[in-house]
Structure 1
Amino acid sequence: MKPGMRRKIPALTLRKDGGSTCRRINTVRDAVETLLEHWPIDDGEEYLTAVHVCLDAIHGRIAPGAVRDAMLRAAEEAGVSVLQ
């Protein structure tokens, strides 16, 4: 695993479709896994931006905090609730 995957981000908790299942995101790896395996849409502009931001954070090109911001925008686009 690339060291950038373990980079911490300001935590956030997401809940999809008003369901009871929540996902806590604490690292870039958590964000990547959520986007690639658990995201309700995979063709939104903000979704694609979030994926690219994660890649940039993994490679150290941007600060990990940018991942959280990108996830928040992608969540709004996809109708995913942000609890924190």
Structure 2
Amino acid sequence: MRRKIPALTLRKDGGSTCRRINTVRDAVETLLEHWPIDDGEEYLTAVHVCLDAIHGRIAPGAVRDAMLRAAEEAGVSVLQ
């Protein structure tokens, strides 16, 4: 089952490439394969929040909040 989250769109480095995140799986893929840093505190928190959401320990909506904090930390733009 794909665990839906409130959608968000991210753009790295002011570039033209955007990533739309609609599910916890999208968030995990973005963090693990497309994130510009892998050692920030908010990045690590977002990874843990995703794991908790996958295992049903927290609501999927928490993933969006964690992604927003990680994006701010990494300088990734959030398009609303």
Is this a same-fold pair by TM over 0.5? yes
| Structure 1 position 6, deviation (Å) | 1.1
Aligned to 1:34: 30
Deviations 1:35-60 (A, max 9, x none): 00000000000000000000000000
| Structure 1 position 10, deviation (Å) | 0.1
> How many pairs does the alignment contain?
80
Normalising to structure 2: TM-score of the pair?
0.98
Q: Distance in 2 between matches of 1:58 and 1:43?
A: 21
| Structure 1 position 82, deviation (Å) | 0.1
Q: Distance in 2 between matches of 1:65 and 1:35?
A: 16
Gaps of 5+ in 2: none
| Structure 1 position 15, deviation (Å) | 0.1
Aligned to 1:11: 7
The structure 1 segments of at least 4 consecutive aligned residues displaced by more than 4 Å after TM superposition are none
Gaps of 5+ in 1: none
Cα RMSD (Å) of the superposition? 0.8
